[in-house]
Structure 1
Amino acid sequence: MNTAYANIDAGVSIILAAPFIDELNTAGWLPRLTHRARAQGVDVTAIWVHSDIDTMHEYIEVRDAPRDHWKLAHWDEYTSTLNTEEPPPEVHHTIDNRLGAATSLADQTRETLRKLMA
C-alpha cells in the first residue's frame, strides 16, 4: 500500500491486484482510500473477483507459493473467515472467477476494463 499511496499522491493511475479481503470488509477503508485518491485527481474503482472455496483451493494449490502453506495446511480454519457469496460493500464491479463460469475470466476482465476506460 505504501507504493500505491506514493503513486496516488503523485497523481499516477495504478492497478492494485491483491485480495484486500480484510480491507474491503472494514467499514470506511474504501471511502478513505477513495477520498485520498480523489484529492489527487485519481479515480478508484473496486472490482470483486468472485470465487468459491473449491476454485480458491485449486488456484492456491497450483500456485504453490510459500505464503500459502499455512492456508493449505489449515484450509477449514482459513476459509471459515471468508465471505465468498456477497461482494464487500462499495464494490463497483464483479468478475466471476468460479470454476465453470459462463464467461471466461479473460473476457470478463477485458469487458470490465473496456467499461472503465470508456
Structure 2
Amino acid sequence: MKQVIIVAGHAGSGKTEFSKQIADRTGWPLLDKDTLTRPFVESLADQLVGDPNDRHSITYLEDIRPLEYQTLLETMWEILEYGARGVVVTAPFVMELFDANWLENFDFDCDLKDSQLTVVWVHCDDETLKGRIIERGAARDRWKILNWAEWVASLGVPSLRETDVHVDNSVESIASLSSSVDALVSRLERA
C-alpha cells in the first residue's frame, strides 16, 4: 500500500519544515503547494486582482485557489501512479480539512488507489505564529500582519480522524518537531 501524507496547518505553523523532515527520512517526494504553484498564482492574482500577493480576496478564494489545489493533488496522483511508494504533500488545506465531506471523499479516493492517507495538522500558539510569519518576510503575508487580530480570530483546528496526527510546533512545546517526525516515521514503518 502506498502512503499519502498531507501536512497541513496555518501560515507560519512549521508545516514545510515538518514536511521536509518527513521527506528526508522516508525518501518520498515532497510536493509543496507554494513551490509548485506560486508562479502561476502570482501571475493570475496580478492579472485578476492587481496584487500578486493577494491570498484573501473573493477572486483568489473562488477562482485561483481551487486551481492551486487541483494542480497539487493531480501532481500527487501522477507521482504515485508512476512508482513512488509514498508522497508528502504540504499546503494549508484549511478549507478542505474543515469540510468533513472533503476529507471523507479524499480518503475514499486514496482507498480506491491503494493508498493510505495520514493527515498531519501542524499548529502553534499565536505568538509563535506571528514571530515566524514576520521572520520569513514573505510579501504574501502582508495582509495577515496588517489584519492580525482579524486573521487570528479566523483560525481554528479541524476535526480530524483518530488516525491523524496533531503536532504542536509552538516555541514552548515539550516535544520537538523532530521527535514528532520520528514518531510518525516509526508508525509508517510499522504499517
TM-score of the aligned structures, taking structure 2 as reference length: 0.55
Higher relative strand content = 2
1:95 and 1:109 in contact (8 A); partners too: no
1:7 corresponds to 2:80: no
Partner of 1:43: 116
Which consecutive residues of structure 2, in runs of 5 or more, have no partner in the other structure?
1-68
Q: Secondary structure at the match of 1:95?
A: strand
Question: How far is 1:43 from its partner?
Answer: 1.4
**Partner in structure 2 of residue 109 of structure 1:** 181
2:160 equivalent to 1:89? yes
- Residues 1:80 and 2:156 aligned together: no
The reply on whether 1:65 has 2:138 as its aligned counterpart is yes
Runs (4+) of structure 1 exceeding 4 A deviation are none
Which piece of structure 1 moves more, 65-74 or 7-16? 7-16
Which moves more between the two structures, 70-79 or 100-109?
100-109
Shift of residue 87, structure 1, vs aligned partner = 4.5
Residue identity in the other structure for 2:145: L
Deviation at 1:117, TM superposition (A): 2.4
> Which has the larger displacement, 11-20 or 86-95?
86-95
Radius of gyration: which is bigger? 2
2:131 and 2:181 map into 1 onto residues whose CA distance is 20
Deviation at 1:114, TM superposition (A): 1.9
More moved, 52-61 vs 4-13: 4-13
The count of corresponding residues between Structure 1 and Structure 2 is 116
Pairwise CA distance, 1:111: 1.6
Alpha carbons 2:97, 2:158 under 8 Å: kept: no
- Name the SS for the 1:45 alignment partner: strand
- Counterpart AA for 2:148: W
Counterpart Cα distance in 2 of 1:16 and 1:7: 8
Larger deviation, residues 58-67 vs 3-12: 3-12
What is the alpha-carbon distance in structure 1 between the residues aligned to residue 98 and residue 107 of structure 2? Answer: 15
Sequence identity of aligned pairs in percent? 26
Q: Distance in 2 between matches of 1:45 and 1:63?
A: 28
Gaps of 5+ in 1: none
> What amino acid sits opposite 2:133 in the alignment?
I
- Contact in 2 for aligned 1:52/1:98 (Cα 8 Å): yes
RMSD of aligned Cα (Å)? 1.8
